[in-house]
Amino acid sequence: MNLTDFDYELPPELIAQEPLAERDSSRMLVVDREAKTWRDSSFAEFPSYFMEGDLIVINNTRVFPARLIGHRILKERQGGRVEVLLLNADEDEWEVLAKPGRALRAGEEIEFGNGRLRAVITAVLAEGRRKIRFECDGDLDQIIDEIGNTPLPPYIKRLRSENQRLDEPRYQTVYARQRGAIAAPTAGLHFTPRIFDELRARDVRIIEITHHVGYATFQPVRTNRIENHRIDAETYEISVEAANSINLAKKERRRIIAIGTTTVRALESAADPDGQIRAERSPTGLFIYPEYRFRVINGLLTNFHLPQSSLLMLVSAFTGLETTLGAYSHAVETRYRFYSYGDCMLII
């Protein structure tokens, strides 16, 4: 398939720049995969689409402040401003996205937080990425948490300093537990304690897994033939308890609903050919696009994704490309809010 098959027109004003005042007040487009139809609803009505025995799987990863602002250290003066986004750690080194990339060469030093944290560039990688080694007095994670910033997506155009206090709690699910994501699993941003109470009142089972959202989630597709695209690995973890609950639901033919595309990728990565889930912690580079055969899930809650993105391709694989683009066209026409702080789709 061609990259252009996954294109659509989106007016810029439909890209949500801020969260709504209430998490569960988002609009929700409900898509029937079999009938290839959709209808407008609201996330407040989400529990009404479920029944006793259904299993909902959520991703409990927690966003950490992975965006660091510093400056280069020169021999006789302070150098220019540097911004790095922490991607993943490998022993005592981090892989980062760096700006300005061309100016940062191997051996150069950077200072963050008025000297609380220093780093040296150890390697120059492709696509603006670098490897750096940190030096600090104290616990590295704690210092990063104190001086770092919430890494908002680039399509949120307001200044990063604006409403930072709002972003810190709102660009995080209410059930976030496991530190390690550089972006939020945005389908989960709509949930509130009230929604969970209503689901449990219907005897819907809720299971947590972990999939740390990394660079793969927003990595651009740079090949015309999507089959040639490769994505970076992200780490997921599924406990024995979670695996047993999912496998029992499969055995009893109960519905399994994934909250977010990262949850889908974790479940499908941990599944054997018969759809049985392994309890494990593992990296995954699974890229899901049309013609993929799903082995685990029966439904998906997801936000609206960028044109030509791997996330849109995953949704198209599950829903069908024609149905997906038709639903997106309806969402544009009826002024849904798009992307991370936007509205959502329930596909069942």
CA distances to 1, 134, 218, 236, 306 from 289, rounded to whole Å, are: 9, 37, 15, 20, 15
Q: Would you say the pTM of this structure is higher than 0.75?
A: yes
- How far CA 124 is from CA of 74, 91, 105, 127, in Å, comes to 19, 18, 7, 10
User: Given this model, what pLDDT does residue 278 score?
Assistant: 98
Strands (E), the chain: 27-32, 37-42, 55-59, 61-63, 67-73, 78-90, 93-99, 109-112, 117-124, 129-136, 178-181, 205-211, 234-238, 256-259, 280-284, 299-303, 344-347
> Which domains are assigned to the chain?
3-63+169-347 (3.40.1780.10), 67-147 (2.40.10.240)
Instruction: Report, as ranges of residue numbers, the positions in the chain whose pLDDT lies below 50.
Output: 161
**Amino acid, single-letter form, for residue 249:** A
- The DSSP secondary-structure symbol of 49 reads G
> How confident is the model at residue 102, as a pLDDT?
74
Q: What span, in angstroms and rounded, lies between the C-alpha atoms of 295 and 304?
A: 23
Whether residue 255 contacts residue 298, with contact meaning beta carbons closer than 8 Å, is answered with: yes
- Say what the pLDDT of residue 61 is: 98
pLDDT of residue 153: 86
